[in-house]
A and B are shown apart, each in its own frame.
Chain A
């Protein structure tokens, strides 16, 4: 019997919290693009004699996320020091949480491709400070051949929320979906921008492979996966690598591996993996963190509707297809925009169609959020109404929408600017245009009349010309009838 291989995957996600200031000092969290070592103060530089003061907002943000992930939030937790020497760590210890994390025991529910539900457990969620960054100065930019390294502490002390999943994930697609859901959640909650490229959301994976003959390979820790796609590819690669090793009867080593996105492979971090002893002990500079009475209730009350709740509601209340409901609930701003359209009277289907095509297209171009999109939901609804009433063709409506979005015009202004009149071009006016088109295309008429348009392509061509000249304001049915009439004369 051939062997089968089952991957066992757990993810550790570090999320940078979108607080105004760092976790233990008043420096800004807006560090990207700043000159090195300018976004620092004595506390986050770990200068002698300085002391940390906990940022309450970070606790709120982490608590909010924990509650949304169905975790149990502890009323009393504490911080620990994680001790190790590295130049990007100014105090030579990281203030983190250890035996009493802020929250434990939650889950995320995923919807599989076949529509079935699957829960991925959350083991713990805790707060910790970020480190600085090293820049290795060498011709090839590699650590091994570096002449020297520079340290930038701008990021040191940025609040991080670490979310550790249970090893419940069994496929790369699931892993990707899990991260996508978490990223969506932190964005909904407004606790992080969730940007993977800039490192606001960093994913490390622990992956091992179980063999049907009872063997279970050691786990690898995969780092440096900077996009959802990278997670999926890296894990696919790693499953293949580990499975084929196990198939050959080889042992999988426990190691840390880096994903090389360009090469599409994971590579062993050549530095010998030492057994780190972090010598954790309770941070004596901070008091135990005791959540005030009513704090959890307050956070729960301030909880927005969660993305999966929005998804469900869109499906159930508005009868939207699951794929569309997923698209519309992906972002809180888009979901709100959609709902505002429906509230203003748009049909859910039509609004959904417009949002996932036109709105997304323009939003992608302008990189703006639906919250400050120039065409407000009420205006879009009005535009949709005109299309429905036959006052505007779909094509014309797109032009009008483009002008409203691009130049910030009001609906009536945009209609005028687009050169389309409100109301149909029909009857005599349409007849005039058809005559005009026919005059200009005598050869085509000749072809049709001599029976060389068996497939009706040339008639279609003429219809298209008429439609274009009316700027889409004619009823295609009427165009077809009047055109036939003229051709048969």
Chain B
């Protein structure tokens, strides 16, 4: 049996029943990872030995009667989530071999439930990018077509799940970094409401936008992981206290009777691949056939100003968040004759071009004399976007939008054109600006065999709602397939 094809819930069930051992499960996934990794480069730090050790510990704990809901489930973790004792690089040279003395809360919650980290996944440096090409550790390939990108910035996590390294993975989403690669790799990816999942141990890109979220090939897995990682965490002041629903209950829905589903007015006129438009229309039809009342929604501010707004707010926060990588305490440190020279050399060598670009932009928009014209205006626009969504959600229960305007594009295609690259997140980043939950999922494949996704967006704390719609869509299109990842 190819254990690496199993969904996480099934693995946990079999391991808990004693039909499978965690070690067997982990071994199967490690072999899959090792066979495809030369062509995919989805991992920055594979952790086969740690995973094997951990699997033995899980088997041991089970034999003693410990109940572990995610027993033996391999998980791939984006390399900006800290893992105690294992280096965390953020896809950058600047952190060197730095190892955190703590584990990110979301990862810790998974481990406490019996999941096993099999490695740290590749990403655009500091989560700044939409293709996972801007990594100090080389580009990741799309497992559906090795000449194409997996999307980004959580491209490594999306590719790892699509190719079967693990049934589930964690990523982070600041402007679409989970949903866009999920769409391009043909898997589920969920960006929770801002404040649902703890950011403790998530290395910050833009703190007011960042959220940790899951990837999976199975919708039950997605809900299950969300239940585990969304536990309240007092270590993150922006994490909202209180209990979370049992998200799997949302998946009992098999129709959308009484639901009002919105879609972007005139979406056909947006600059998108035709096949993306077709699949979006297909998804809308499914909802309609499922009994939903379909309604046109217009979001002119979000689609018109979301992108410039995002590229002020996110770089501003990033310029501050990344200032600590100065070569004084940890990570890369270049010698200098003065402290300034040490800073300049360390940061000059440690950061890649896209990161430098955003630090410069962010520093600029916060500078006195420019703050009011840029940062302050962007904050106002951000509020308008949130208001616009709120108005839309007074009329509809959920929105269906493109997750990416295109299918996976060729490596190198947009690397020299930052604006084209930024356009990849046109439909995802307003969701972060408004702090809303959204799930990205596969709704079919292009003629060339590339996955096409859509995203379902709901008001704050509407995770149950988006999972309900995803459940109905899944009934119609089926669960995502495992990508070949270049094998055979």
Please determine whether A284 and B207 come into contact, CB atoms closer than 8 angstroms: yes
Please determine whether B100 and A48 come into contact, CB atoms closer than 8 angstroms: yes
Please determine whether A285 and B235 come into contact, CB atoms closer than 8 angstroms: no
| A286 and B237 in contact, given A48-B88, A83-B320, A85-B326 (Cβ under 8 angstroms) | yes
> Measured between alpha carbons, how far is A280 from B326 in the docked complex, in Å?
19
Within 8 A of A (CB), among B78-112: 80-82, 88, 90, 95, 98, 100-102, 104
CB within 8 A of B324: which of A51, A91, A281?
A91
Question: Which residues of the other chain, B, contact A86 by a CB distance below 8 angstroms?
Answer: 339
* Interface bits A54-84 vs B (CB < 8 Å: 1, else 0): 1000000000000000000000000001010
Please determine whether B237 and A52 come into contact, CB atoms closer than 8 angstroms: yes
Decide if A114 is an interface residue (CB 8 Å cutoff).
no
Within 8 A of A (CB), among B353-379: 363, 366-368, 371, 375
Please determine whether A285 and B207 come into contact, CB atoms closer than 8 angstroms: yes
Question: Which residues of the other chain, A, contact B90 by a CB distance below 8 angstroms?
Answer: 48
| A49 and B207 in contact, given A42-B101, A279-B367, A286-B237 (Cβ under 8 angstroms) | no
Please determine whether B200 and A81 come into contact, CB atoms closer than 8 angstroms: no
- Most B CB contacts (10 A, CB to CB) among A54, A85, A90 go to A85
Please determine whether B328 and A87 come into contact, CB atoms closer than 8 angstroms: yes
> Measured between alpha carbons, how far is A92 from B324 in the docked complex, in Å?
5
Distance of B195 from chain A, by nearest CB (Å): 9
Decide if B393 is an interface residue (CB 8 Å cutoff).
no
| A48 and B236 in contact, given A87-B339, A277-B367, A279-B366 (Cβ under 8 angstroms) | no
> Measured between alpha carbons, how far is A151 from B328 in the docked complex, in Å?
9
Decide if A212 is an interface residue (CB 8 Å cutoff).
no
Distance of B132 from chain A, by nearest CB (Å): 20
Interface residues of B, CB < 8 Å — how many? 43
Decide if A366 is an interface residue (CB 8 Å cutoff).
no
Decide if A31 is an interface residue (CB 8 Å cutoff).
no
> Measured between alpha carbons, how far is A91 from B325 in the docked complex, in Å?
8
Question: Which residues of the other chain, B, contact A87 by a CB distance below 8 angstroms?
Answer: 326, 328, 339
Please determine whether B320 and A93 come into contact, CB atoms closer than 8 angstroms: yes
Distance of B470 from chain A, by nearest CB (Å): 29
Decide if A125 is an interface residue (CB 8 Å cutoff).
no
Q: Which residue of B lies closest to A276 (CB)?
A: B368
> Measured between alpha carbons, how far is A151 from B330 in the docked complex, in Å?
13
CB within 8 A of B320: which of A42, A48, A53, A81?
A81
Decide if B199 is an interface residue (CB 8 Å cutoff).
yes
Decide if A47 is an interface residue (CB 8 Å cutoff).
yes
> Measured between alpha carbons, how far is A46 from B324 in the docked complex, in Å?
8
Question: Which residues of the other chain, B, contact A51 by a CB distance below 8 angstroms?
Answer: 199-200, 235-237
Within 8 A of A (CB), among B197-238: 199-204, 206-208, 234-238
Please determine whether B200 and A49 come into contact, CB atoms closer than 8 angstroms: yes
> Measured between alpha carbons, how far is A44 from B215 in the docked complex, in Å?
33
> Measured between alpha carbons, how far is A151 from B238 in the docked complex, in Å?
31
Please determine whether B234 and A85 come into contact, CB atoms closer than 8 angstroms: no
Question: Which residues of the other chain, A, contact B367 by a CB distance below 8 angstroms?
Answer: 277, 279
Please determine whether B320 and A90 come into contact, CB atoms closer than 8 angstroms: no
Please determine whether B323 and A83 come into contact, CB atoms closer than 8 angstroms: yes
Question: Which residues of the other chain, B, contact A151 by a CB distance below 8 angstroms?
Answer: 328-329
Question: Which residues of the other chain, B, contact A85 by a CB distance below 8 angstroms?
Answer: 323, 326, 343
Distance of A211 from chain B, by nearest CB (Å): 31
Question: Which residues of the other chain, A, contact B199 by a CB distance below 8 angstroms?
Answer: 51
| A285 and B316 in contact, given A42-B101, A49-B203 (Cβ under 8 angstroms) | no
> Measured between alpha carbons, how far is A285 from B198 in the docked complex, in Å?
11
Question: Which residues of the other chain, B, contact A45 by a CB distance below 8 angstroms?
Answer: 329
Please determine whether B82 and A48 come into contact, CB atoms closer than 8 angstroms: yes
Question: Which residues of the other chain, B, contact A47 by a CB distance below 8 angstroms?
Answer: 100-101, 330
Decide if B145 is an interface residue (CB 8 Å cutoff).
no
Shortest 3 CB-CB contacts between residues of A and residues of B: A92-B323, A284-B208, A279-B366
- Residues on A close to B: CB < 8 A? 42, 45-54, 81, 83, 85-87, 90-93, 149, 151, 277, 279-281, 284-287
Other A-B contacts than A42-B102, A48-B203, A49-B104, 16 sampled, CB-CB below 8 A, are: A42-B100, A47-B101, A48-B100, A48-B324, A49-B81, A49-B82, A49-B201, A53-B235, A149-B339, A279-B363, A279-B371, A280-B366, A285-B238, A286-B238, A287-B237, A287-B238
Q: What are 9 A-B contacts defined by CB distance under 8 Å?
A: A42-B100, A48-B98, A85-B326, A90-B329, A92-B320, A151-B328, A281-B366, A284-B206, A284-B238
- Residues on B close to A: CB < 8 A? 80-82, 88, 90, 95, 98, 100-102, 104, 199-204, 206-208, 234-238, 316-317, 319-320, 323-324, 326, 328-330, 339, 343, 363, 366-368, 371, 375
